[in-house]
């Protein structure tokens, strides 16, 4: 049996159910109070009618001799019901007070408060509720006697109170069962009524989990509840229109990005030939034995250097375009330890003024991936540390295997990356300012390529930087599907 999830105290379902139960409880309370008051009033009126019918016969018959005879001779034969109270008040003083018990008249002890209450009862025949210390709550009425005294007759209110309490108990049980049933039925009804909102929330959650920044995204199915005559239907319709707008915007953006990537790829591919041609002609001219003026030779050297730099930029752009297009990488076993040794050797030759430290595990680290891409990651990170730190900086390259992943860390003790640039350092054409001294310029694509290659291998690259400590950490899975 599937258990229904309990709603949170702050959820709309809980508040609606609680509101329904509270309203029903208030209605039950109002009904209970009204019926109890009506029943009590009815029973008290019946009691007053009985007192009117009895009149003053019982208190009129009270005198010392008769009361003594009744006590001595046995049961009273005047037909008074058990609990009937009688008292005589003459000139503001209670002369006699008795009650019928077991068909016998029994004198009632009265304290000062009882006597005061009895003397204040007028001879108008109207019923009044009075508390007697020896008997409890009584309904009393007074009439004028033949001797000018006030004859007070009373009946106990205990039967009325017992009846009212039984009614209250029955109402409590019935109303409690009704509230419980209404709470369960209300919770189920509210849950059923809020099902369209849950579908909207579920669709929104699926949309929130989509990689909306990763290109073409398939949006989930629309919410089926779109009846404009209901509030939930209007919410569903507005949500569907929002999803359609988002889908159209993503499609247009993806199409624009695809056109831009094709343009970058095509332009990079087309530029490789003329750049190579310019570089070749410059090298051929420099090799000529003919006498060349110094200014012309200097211009040819600059043309050769800039053509080499432009060729590297074209290669980087072409690689990024291929990675953006999602082309699969090579899936061959790569000895990452050998690549690290070669990369550090090349970096030491290019930057002899830096101190290079290498930390490798005892066993070779081999993973499946693209050798050329991983080699470029190492080259870019070491070149970044070399060109953006002053001479004498210590650069440490650490390679290790942890928790089924390969961790590659390039760390230096240079001035660090400015905090304002750390969030966008892996974006394209982002270059640091003078906070990190540079001896040579860069294209701003090295770290972008590093991030793209690491992501294409199913890994990630992170940056931790502060003055005196900068670390680029590349984490790659040990095994990749070819």
Read off the pLDDT of residues 348-394 as tens digits, 9 standing for 90 and up: 888 889 998 888 888 888 888 888 888 888 888 888 888 888 888 89
Q: Torsions phi, psi of 299, nearest 5?
A: -65, -40
Q: ∠ CA(440), CA(446), CA(448), 5° rounding?
A: 145
Average pLDDT, the chain: 79
Structure confidence at residue 332 (pLDDT) = 81
Q: What is the pLDDT averaged over residues 27-51? A: 91
pLDDT at 98 over 60: yes
Q: Which tops the pLDDT comparison, 362 or 285?
A: 362
Residue 173's pLDDT band, with cuts at 50, 70 and 90, is very high
pTM of the model: 0.48
pLDDT at 166 over 90: yes
Q: ∠ CA(339), CA(355), CA(371), 5° rounding?
A: 10
**Helix extents (H) in 83-226:** 112-119, 158-193, 195-208
* Number of continuous H segments (helices) and E segments (strands) in the chain: 12, 13
pLDDT at 141 over 70: yes
pLDDT in tens, 12-25: 778 888 888 889 89
Cβ 232 vs Cβ 222: under 8 Å? no
Q: What's the CA gap between 123 and 149, in Å, rounded?
A: 9
Percent of the chain with pLDDT over 90: 11
pLDDT at 68 over 70: no
Beta bridge partners of 463: 472
Structure confidence at residue 125 (pLDDT) = 86
pLDDT at 57 over 70: yes
- If one counts every other C-beta atom within 10 angstroms of the C-beta of residue 137, the result is 14
Cβ 90 vs Cβ 148: under 8 Å? yes
Q: What's the CA gap between 5 and 415, in Å, rounded?
A: 55
Q: What's the CA gap between 216 and 238, in Å, rounded?
A: 23
Which region among 62-66, 107-111, 182-186, 228-232 has the lowest average model confidence (pLDDT)? Answer: 62-66
pLDDT in tens, 400-413: 888 778 888 898 88
Strands of the sheet containing 355-359, edge to edge, are: 355-359, 394-402, 405-412, 469-477, 460-466
Q: What's the CA gap between 75 and 105, in Å, rounded?
A: 8
Report helix, strand or coil for 141.
strand
Q: What's the CA gap between 301 and 283, in Å, rounded?
A: 8
Report helix, strand or coil for 135.
coil
Percent of the chain with pLDDT over 70: 81
Helix (H) or strand (E) holding 132: strand 128-132
Q: Return all residues near 290 (Cβ < 8 A) that are at least 6 apart.
A: none
Q: What's the CA gap between 258 and 112, in Å, rounded?
A: 105
Structure confidence at residue 438 (pLDDT) = 42
* HEC letters along 381-431: HHHHHHHCCCCCCEEEEEEEEECCEEEEEEEECCCCCCHHHHCCCCCCCCC
Which region among 49-53, 168-172, 174-178, 195-199 has the lowest average model confidence (pLDDT)? Answer: 195-199
Cβ 465 vs Cβ 403: under 8 Å? no
Structure confidence at residue 480 (pLDDT) = 44
Cβ 393 vs Cβ 414: under 8 Å? yes
Beta bridge partners of 462: 473
Q: Which tops the pLDDT comparison, 75 or 39?
A: 39
Which of 66-80, 97-111, 157-171, 349-363 has the highest average model confidence (pLDDT)? 157-171
Structure confidence at residue 217 (pLDDT) = 62
User: Which residue is associated with the tokens 């025949």?
Assistant: 125
Handedness of CA 183, 184, 187, 193 (dihedral sign): negative
Which region among 240-254, 256-270, 309-323 has the lowest average model confidence (pLDDT)? Answer: 256-270
Q: What is the pLDDT averaged over residues 72-88? A: 67
Q: Which tops the pLDDT comparison, 15 or 131?
A: 131
Residue 44's pLDDT band, with cuts at 50, 70 and 90, is very high
Q: What is the pLDDT averaged over residues 286-313? A: 76
Q: What's the CA gap between 297 and 278, in Å, rounded?
A: 15
pLDDT at 114 over 80: yes
């Amino acid at each position: 049996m599937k258990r229904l999830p309990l709603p949170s105290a702050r959820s709309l379902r809980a508040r609606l159910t609680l509101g329904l139960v509270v309203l029903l409880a208030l209605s039950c309370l109002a009904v209970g109070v009204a019926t109890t008051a009506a029943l009590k009033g009815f029973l008290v009126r019946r009691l007053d009618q009985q007192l009117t019918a009895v009149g003053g016969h019982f208190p009129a018959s009270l005198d010392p001799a008769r009361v003594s005879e009744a006590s001595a001779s046995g049961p009273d034969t005047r037909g008074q019901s058990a609990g009937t109270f009688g008292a005589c008040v003459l000139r503001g003083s209670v002369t006699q007070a008795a009650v019928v018990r077991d068909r016998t008249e029994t004198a009632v002890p009265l304290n000062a408060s009882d006597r005061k209450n009895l003397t204040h009862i007028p001879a108008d025949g109207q019923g009044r509720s009075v508390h007697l210390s020896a008997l409890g709550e009584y309904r009393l009425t007074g009439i004028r006697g033949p001797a000018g005294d006030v004859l007070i007759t009373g009946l106990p209110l205990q039967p009325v109170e017992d009846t009212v309490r039984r009614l209250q108990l029955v109402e409590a049980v019935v109303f409690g069962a009704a509230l419980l049933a209404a709470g369960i039925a209300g919770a189920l009804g509210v849950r059923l009524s809020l099902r369209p909102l849950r579908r909207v929330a579920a669709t929104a959650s699926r949309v929130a989990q989509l990689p909306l920044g990763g290109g073409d995204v398939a949006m989930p199915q629309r919410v089926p509840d779109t009846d404009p005559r209901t509030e939930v239907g209007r919410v569903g319709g507005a949500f569907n229109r929002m999803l359609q707008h988002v889908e159209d915007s993503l499609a247009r953006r993806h199409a624009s990005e695809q056109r831009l990537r094709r343009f970058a790829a095509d332009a990079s591919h087309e530029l490789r030939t003329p750049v190579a041609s310019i570089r070749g002609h410059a090298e051929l001219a420099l090799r000529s034995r003919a006498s060349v003026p110094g200014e012309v030779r200097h211009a040819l050297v600059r043309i050769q250097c800039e053509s080499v730099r432009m060729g590297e930029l074209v290669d980087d752009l072409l690689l990024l375009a291929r990675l953006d297009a999602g082309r699969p990488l090579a899936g061959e076993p790569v000895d990452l330890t050998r690549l690290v040794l070669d990369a550090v050797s090349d970096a030491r030759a290019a930057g002899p003024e830096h101190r290079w430290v290498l930390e490798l595990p005892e066993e070779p680290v081999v993973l499946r991936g693209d050798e050329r891409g991983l080699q470029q990651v190492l080259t870019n990170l070491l070149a970044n540390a070399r060109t953006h730190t002053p001479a004498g900086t210590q650069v440490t390259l650490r390679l290790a295997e942890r928790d089924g992943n390969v961790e590659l860390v390039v760390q230096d003790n240079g001035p660090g990356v400015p905090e304002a640039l750390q969030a966008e350092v892996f974006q394209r054409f982002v270059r640091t300012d003078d906070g990190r001294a540079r001896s040579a310029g860069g294209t701003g694509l090295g770290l972008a390529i590093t991030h793209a290659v690491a992501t294409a291998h199913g890994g990630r690259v992170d940056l931790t930087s502060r003055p005196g400590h900068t670390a680029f950490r590349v984490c790659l899975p040990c095994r990749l599907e070819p």
